[in-house]
């Protein structure tokens, strides 16, 4: 039997979330239906606050709350402003920060590409990245993209694209398992990959 339209509509919306398919989406909806009025209202207000309170840092593209146009990392003058680390997504920044071994700045690329088709590449922040890398303060650009097949293709593309900007370009060194993702690596592995960058 088909779901009532208001349930089906939400399943369609939740199915668009990363890694969520229709079955998981349906489980989410039935979970929502079981919530008390209070819990439900709290969830709804948290979601509306998200759009109202969160700003995206104009330098690294990390979401933040507060005054100004840049996040607390980009605005922190005690960090090593000669290093720029390119990562795929927000959770990779958190993973690297958790190692407490990296004191430079970041740039969130916004994804990876499996092919070098124009349409795919346009999904990444390549123009913004080039502009950022050009900033004279940076002496080293660290490409810290996940060592997956797509990540490798993206790293090669970035190395080629950034080459002409005459900066030292390094990538994460040993330790990270092939096909693995930064956010799932333990802190020690990620620290050693950062330290052994080449």
Contact footprint for Zn ion (CB under 5 A): 57, 59-60, 62, 71, 74
Q: How far is the CB of 172 from Zn ion (least distance, A)?
A: 21
Q: How far is the CB of 57 from Zn ion (least distance, A)?
A: 3
Burial 76-90 (b: 16+ CB within 10 A, else e): eeebebebbbbbbbb
Looking at the Cβ atoms of 57 and 145, the one nearer to Zn ion is 57
Per-residue tokens: 172: 């994460």
With tokens 């916004």, the residue in question is 110
Q: How far is the CB of 111 from Zn ion (least distance, A)?
A: 18
How far apart are alpha carbons 52 and 46 in whole angstroms? 10
Looking at the Cβ atoms of 62 and 102, the one nearer to Zn ion is 62
Q: How far is the CB of 97 from Zn ion (least distance, A)?
A: 12
- The continuous run of DSSP H or E covering 64 comes out as strand 63-64
């Amino acid at each position: 039997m088909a779901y009532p339209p208001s349930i089906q509509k939400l399943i369609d919306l939740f199915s668009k979330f990363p890694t969520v398919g229709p079955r998981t989406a349906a489980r989410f909806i039935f979970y929502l239906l079981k919530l008390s009025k209070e819990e439900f209202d709290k969830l709804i207000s948290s979601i509306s606050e998200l759009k109202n309170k969160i700003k995206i840092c104009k330098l690294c593209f990390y979401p933040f709350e507060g005054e100004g146009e840049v996040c607390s990392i980009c605005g922190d003058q005690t960090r090593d402003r000669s290093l720029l680390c390119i990562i795929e997504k927000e959770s990779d920044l958190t993973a690297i920060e958790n190692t407490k071994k990296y004191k430079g700045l970041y740039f969130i690329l916004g994804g990876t590409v499996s092919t070098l088709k124009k349409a795919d590449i346009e999904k990444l922040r390549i123009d913004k990245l080039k502009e950022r890398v050009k900033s004279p303060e940076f002496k080293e650009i660290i490409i810290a993209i996940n060592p997956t097949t797509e990540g490798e293709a993206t790293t090669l593309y970035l190395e080629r694209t950034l080459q002409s900007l005459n900066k030292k370009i390094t990538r994460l060194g040993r330790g990270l398992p092939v096909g693995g993702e930064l956010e799932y690596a333990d802190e020690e592995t990620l620290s050693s990959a950062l330290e052994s960058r080449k």
